[in-house]
Every structure is written in structure tokens, then in C-alpha cells.
Amino acid sequence: MPPHDSTWVDQLPDELTGQRMLLRGLLSLCDAEESVRWLVLGCSVARGAGDHLSDLDLAIGVRDEDFAAAIPKISLAVDGLGELVDSYQHKLPSVTTTHLRIFAQYADRCQVDLVVFPASASAEPFAGVLALYDPDAAIVTRAHREPPTPAQVGEWAFHGWCALADVGKYLRRHSAWEALLQLNNARDQLWRLQAVAGHVPDPQFGVISILDFAPEMITPDLAATVSDLDLARLVPAARQLANLLDQTGQQLPVEYRAAWPEAMARYVISDLRQLTPAGETAPHNTAPQDE
């Protein structure tokens, strides 16, 4: 790709005028800075599914030896792409390689979410991205990320059941805020597991991936897992979420079934059944029974 071919950017629909201007500015940065060796765009805008509220999820590669020196230039350029409200820089806890994330909010509601990498990061294939600038032909792409491992799926499941166990604990303490927090945490894991069961790409993103690729999976029974701070509504919401989590475990592809925490699932389901609508332990039930 010669520096810089903005054909794809120029053809973005009028609804994405703000995003188009931001991308043009970033391509100009690529042309101006010799140390910049590639720029890729991901998520909804790259797939052609973005709207005027979509952020720009990007990664940019800088020559390894120029990484530290390039950061201030890139940060200044991002701040100057539009009418800036504010920007923020930090490292992503889940990313172990050298990097820096720059997030910028602009007054027109557009957002840039840019991760700066050493250019050598392109040695690994990128999943679900579009290369906007790649004069060295360094970028290798694939449609989606590798599927999660059984260990990852088992971890998501265990976190889900642990969160529901905490829901029961906090309901017995009548701590509605903490119970609601854990209920929502458990649902986040449920989304991930449902995405795995439904063969949805990038299941680690949970409900985001489901809405992007399989919105028909959002069924009415999921609404019953949502509650406010009323204990009488938190209890049935937790039970419904436990039921759906249990059903999802049974629907997982066979390669993930061995990692399912069956004992924890049975314990939590029994424990939640012993709750009264007021968040108390029902009489004569002092400990959950394994069924």
C-alpha cells in the first residue's frame, strides 16, 4: 500500500463524517512520521457496521527503536484530530507486550481508542482488522481470533458461579448493592459462555460480540436476570441467572465440557433455592445440598 491510500476512508458513508475526518488525520500522521510503519482499524467501523456513535478502535505500529520517542508525537497528533474534550493514556492490564493506549473524546461525540505498539508486534496475525497503512506489507490478518481454550472457558464458568455464590451471601446480609453488583458480574460471564455455546466469534467480549454477530440470541428469558435493589426481585433474578448458566453449560461444545465446574454449579443452585424472597435462609435449610 503506497503512503497513503485513503480510498477506503474516503468511501465511508456520510453518517461517519466525523470518523472519516479522524482517520484522514491519522493517515496524515502516518505519512509525516517515518517511524510509523502501520495502522490498523478494527471492530464495527472496520466491518462496515458502524454508525455515527461508533468509536474508532485502532492500533499503530512504530519502529521498535523509536517507540519511546514517538509517543509524545502520536499523543499530540491524536489530541489535535478534532475538537478535543479530553484524552487519557495508560497501559492495558491484559496486554503483556510493550504498548500504550491513548483514548480521546471529541466534542462531536467521536472517540479514538488507539493502542501504540512497536512495529514488530505485526509478527503475529491480527484478527478482524483492516490495514489502513502498511507500506512494508507487514500486516497479516485473519477473520477472527483463535477460539478460547477449555481452560479459559472453565475460568469464565467458575467466575460466574463464584459471583452467584456471592449474590447469595450478600442477600443473606441484606446488602442489596453488593448483591446487585455480583449479579451483574455473573451475567457478564454468562454472556461469554453463551457466545461460546452459540459459536459466536470473539466470545471473550460477551454481549458485545453477541449483539454484533448473533443478536437473535438475546431472548426474553435473559430479562428476568435483571433486577433493582429490591431483595424480593434480586432473589428470583439470581435463580434465573443460575438456571441459564446451568443450561448454557450443557450446551457447550464437547471440548469444553470437561472444564465445567459441575460441583460448584450444583452447590450454588441449591444454595440459591434455599433463599426466601426476603433474602433469608429458609427454615431447616442451613447448608446447600448437593443434588
CATH of the domain at 176: 1.20.120.330
CATH number at residue 99: 3.30.460.10
Residue 279 covered by a domain = no
Local confidence band at 277 (pLDDT 50, 70, 90 cut-offs)? confident
Residue 187 to residue 181: CA distance in whole angstroms: 10
Same domain as 59, residue 170? no
* Number of domains observed in the structure of the chain: 2
Q: What is the pLDDT of residue 1?
A: 41
Same domain as 104, residue 83? yes
Same domain as 229, residue 115? no
Mean pLDDT of 208-237: 95
Top pLDDT among 96 and 150 is at 150
Q: What is the pLDDT of residue 33?
A: 93
Same domain as 92, residue 21? yes
Same domain as 52, residue 11? yes
Same domain as 22, residue 83? yes
Cell of 205: 467480549
With left for phi above 0 and alpha for psi between -120 and 50, is residue 182 left, alpha or beta? alpha
Residue 291 covered by a domain = no
Same domain as 166, residue 55? no
Residue 53 to residue 270: CA distance in whole angstroms: 44
Residue 160 covered by a domain = yes
Q: 23-37, 116-130, 149-163: lowest mean pLDDT where?
A: 116-130
Same domain as 231, residue 116? no
Residue 36 covered by a domain = yes
Same domain as 46, residue 173? no
Residue 281 covered by a domain = no
Residue 283 covered by a domain = no
Which residues span the domain enclosing 193?
150-273
Same domain as 156, residue 136? no
